[in-house]
């Protein structure tokens, strides 16, 4: 085989649906229950749900799975209470709930202290709290964003350890602003709130900067009154919301410079009663209701490249009052209302055995095309590498590789030919899954042009930096973080012309994005390197 070099290095992410299935059950069917659900998962990934019993008693109810069975109780029975509610769990997995007392017009708050429910009125100034959102800070203190029905404004209450601090966030000269708020706390315990402004018909966003409230309009929508907010690992907001005029589910995120806004689904009347959560990669997941014509519970997730949309429950009239949470495996759990039978329902996705997804990369070295991969899920029994040329069907080019394998070198390649690579996995139960393809990889005769690449990319505990020099000379390879701080010198020395590589242990580096820089007498090249675990 002729020695080859690469004109292209490709990283391709191949993702399929989780290896598993949806499980659906009825949690509470006593009387007419299940409206305005709020879901949270405890440290064991067990669900906790607050919800409203509107007939015959108009009570606030709470259900949680104890590992064996659902435990259901009434939290507050004093008048018409619990419509709607918002639930959060503290560091001891104890529930905290904000809710409305429609009888007295108060915003109320209930918390479990380990033995009893402690209940108090937070705000009694007029009719308040018909819509509220609760979050707990790093001290397990409650923060509540809520709507003031009397003055039609957005209010915010927080417990400072001694008393409730209450203030108006948005209102003043405006009217009908602040309904259906969604609250999240950032890494500094500062509040961020999305809500609807009926006067200007807009989805708005308010956040505390440390000294003042900053307020902006995200999108002008007619009746976009249901929105859900989550903050990513950079404290950037992500928001799902319903645009009633077009009957679409929309999604907005702040990228650090501007709002990026898109329509997630536009098939029918979709997007009301939406709930948003971010997974460990900061990718959004959204549960929502499709109103017409099917009246279904739906779920959308972003895999890094595109939206995947599916129907979770289509039995009768279901999917109102959705609340979404992701477990420690990033699998979705959803509480929702069955309007046909007036029941509280719960759906969760259980990841089954086998490979969930594969990150597949290929680069060309002097010895051939090196195919590498990382998997999510259970290790398979074996791998096989497939290859195709042009539009031909892929054929197997490797022997059966053990389940611990992470790369394979294809030495049987020719200059001037473009190849596509695939990966097949065989699970313990015999299930065969195919991932890929990569984009076309072009190979050429060695040109000895200055080149730099790294593999695998993303890397885990080690990375190989490959480079080509057009002439003999001194070479320095350094690693930087995105702030420009030098992390390490990978190599520094005299090297002859040609292709070379050097390995570097990355196990001590935190996950993130880094820059690998090659400095030579012939020039400088920089490549992006991702560390992911």
The per-residue pLDDT for range 264-274, each reduced to its tens digit, is 998 778 888 89
What does the DSSP assignment read for 239-275? EEEEETTTTEEEEEEE-SSSEEEEEEE-SSEEEEEEE
| DSSP-derived secondary structure letter, 294 | S
What does the DSSP assignment read for 111-161? EE-SSSEEEEEEE-SSSEEEEEEEEE-TTS-EEEEEEETTTTEEEEEEE-S
Query: Looking at 153-162, 292-301, 434-443, which range is the least confident one?
Result: 434-443
CATH topology for 1-17+353-447 is: Immunoglobulin-like (2.60.40)
- 1-17+353-447 and 448-533 agree in CATH topology: yes
How much is the pLDDT for 432?
82
Residue 446 reports pLDDT greater than 80:
no
pLDDT, averaged across the chain: 88
Residue 45: strand, helix, or coil: coil
How much is the pLDDT for 92?
96
* CA torsion through residues 460, 462, 468, 473, sign: positive
HSE toward the beta carbon, residue 148, CA cutoff 13 A: 23
Cβ 106 vs Cβ 79: under 8 Å:
no
Residue 447 reports pLDDT greater than 80:
no
Name the CATH code of domain 448-533 (choices 3.40.50.300, 3.30.9.10, 2.40.128.20, 2.60.40.2550): 2.60.40.2550
Query: Looking at 196-205, 222-231, 498-507, which range is the least confident one?
Result: 222-231
- Let me know if 307 is exposed, middle or buried by CB neighbors in 10 A (0-12, 13-18, 19+): middle
Cα–Cα distance, 449 to 301 (Å, whole number): 42
pTM of the model: 0.68
How much is the pLDDT for 32?
86
Name the CATH code of domain 20-351 (choices 3.30.465.10, 2.120.10.70, 3.40.50.10320, 3.30.930.10): 2.120.10.70
278-287 mean pLDDT:
96
For the chain, domain boundaries: 1-17+353-447, 20-351, 448-533
Residue 12 reports pLDDT greater than 80:
no
Share of the chain above pLDDT 90, in %: 54
């Amino acid at each position: 085989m002729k020695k080859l070099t690469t004109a292209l290095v490709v990283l391709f992410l191949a993702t399929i649906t989780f290896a598993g299935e949806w499980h659906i059950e009825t949690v509470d069917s006593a009387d007419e229950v299940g409206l305005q659900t709020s879901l949270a998962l405890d440290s064991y990934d067990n669900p906790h749900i607050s919800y409203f019993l509107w007939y015959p008693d108009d009570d606030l109810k709470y259900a949680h799975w104890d590992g064996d069975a659902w435990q259901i109780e009434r939290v507050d029975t004093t008048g018409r209470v619990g419509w709607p509610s918002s639930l959060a769990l503290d560091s001891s997995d104890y529930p905290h709930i904000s809710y409305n007392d429609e009888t007295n017009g108060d915003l109320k708050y209930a918390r479990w202290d380990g033995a009893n429910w402690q209940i108090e009125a937070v705000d009694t100034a007029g009719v308040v709290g018909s819509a509220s959102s609760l979050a707990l800070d790093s001290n397990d203190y409650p923060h509540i964003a809520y709507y003031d029905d009397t003055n039609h404004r957005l209010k915010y209450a927080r417990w400072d350890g001694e008393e409730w601090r209450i203030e108006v966030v948005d209102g003043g000269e405006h009217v009908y602003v602040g309904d259906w708020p969604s609250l999240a706390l950032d890494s500094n315990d500062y509040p961020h709130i999305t809500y609807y402004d009926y006067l200007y018909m807009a989805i708005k966003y308010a956040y505390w900067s440390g000294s003042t409230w900053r307020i902006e309009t995200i999108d002008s929508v007619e009746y976009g009154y249901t929105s859900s907010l989550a903050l990513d690992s950079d404290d950037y907001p992500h928001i799902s919301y319903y645009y009633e005029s077009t009957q679409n589910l929309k999604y907005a995120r702040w990228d650090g410079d501007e709002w990026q806004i898109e329509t997630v689904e536009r098939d029918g009347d979709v997007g009301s009663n939406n709930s948003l959560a971010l997974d460990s990669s900061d990718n959004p997941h959204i549960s929502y209701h499709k109103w017409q014509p099917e009246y279904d519970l739906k779920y959308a997730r972003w895999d890094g490249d595109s939206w995947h949309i599916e129907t979770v429950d289509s039995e009768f009239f279901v999917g109102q009052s959705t609340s979404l949470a992701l477990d420690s495996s990033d699998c979705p759990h959803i509480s929702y209302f069955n309007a046909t039978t007036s029941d509280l329902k719960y759906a969760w996705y259980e990841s089954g055995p086998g490979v969930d997804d594969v990150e597949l990369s290929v680069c060309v070295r002097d010895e051939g095309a090196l195919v590498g991969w990382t998997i999510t899920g259970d290790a398979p029994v074996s791998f096989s590498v497939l290859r195709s040329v042009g539009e031909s069907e892929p054929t197997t080019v490797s022997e059966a590789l053990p389940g611990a394998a992470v790369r394979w070198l294809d030495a049987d390649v020719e200059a001037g030919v473009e190849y596509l690579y695939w990966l097949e996995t065989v699970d313990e139960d015999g299930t065969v899954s195919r991932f890929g393809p990569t984009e076309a990889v072009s190979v050429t005769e060695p040109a000895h042009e200055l080149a730099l690449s790294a593999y695998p990319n993303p890397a885990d505990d080690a990375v190989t930096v490959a480079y080509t020099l057009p002439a003999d000379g001194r070479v320095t390879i350094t690693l930087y973080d995105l702030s420009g701080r030098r992390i390490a010198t990978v190599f520094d020395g005299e090297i002859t012309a040609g292709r070379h590589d050097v390995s570097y242990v990355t196990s001590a580096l935190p996950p993130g994005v880094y820059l690998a820089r090659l400095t030579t007498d012939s020039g400088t090249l920089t490549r992006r390197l991702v560390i992911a675990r």
